[in-house]
Amino acid sequence: MALARRLLAPGGAARNADGLDRPPPAGCARFERVARLRDELHATANRVEHVRLVDDPMIDAVRVRAARAARAVLSPGQVLHQLDLVSDRLVEVLGALTPGEWRRVARLGEGVITLGGLIDDILHGARHDLLDLMEVEGGAPPA
């Protein structure tokens, strides 16, 4: 969340006279990437719940390729709020997993993946996406 907040901090969104954030201009890559992260974490929480509840689960592709409604009329503050809610939900879902559930297996394409492996892949990719964005924006990642 801290990295996402820095990416969408002042300078990333115009301000109205009343102080409210305007939606970023069309094609704003960092806004779209943070929106994609929001969607990816949401999809991951849904996949975790699916793997927990279904016998012999099959899940779709691990990474979200494009944010849903990335160009919808949302301000960066609204996207950050949604990202915060989705992050909290994912933490709650993961916190409820038993040790055995982390080892549950799901079919992914032609192969299989454990729930723990799925989560590790998603979080690893999300962290790298945010760190890449920090480099592009010229900011130093937090220690």
- Asked if residue 139 has pLDDT above 80, the reply is no
Task: Output the six-digit token pair for 135.
Answer: 């480099």
What confidence category does residue 130 fall into, taking pLDDT thresholds of 50, 70 and 90? Answer: confident
- In whole angstroms, give the CA distance from residue 30 to residue 124: 18
| Structure confidence at residue 5 as a pLDDT band (50, 70, 90) | low
Q: Which residue has the higher pLDDT, 6 or 97?
A: 97
Confidence of residue 24 (pLDDT cuts 50, 70, 90): very low
How many CB atoms sit inside 10 A of residue 26's CB? Answer: 9
More confident residue, 91 or 138: 91
Domain at 2-137, CATH from 3.10.310.30, 3.30.1280.10, 1.20.120.450, 3.90.180.10: 1.20.120.450
CB crowding 100-119: b at 16 or more within 10 Å, else e: eebebebebeeeebebebbb
- Evaluate if residue 26 carries a pLDDT over 60: no
Which secondary structure element, helix H or strand E, spans residue 105, and what is its range?
strand 105-108
Tell me what pLDDT residue 89 has. Answer: 95
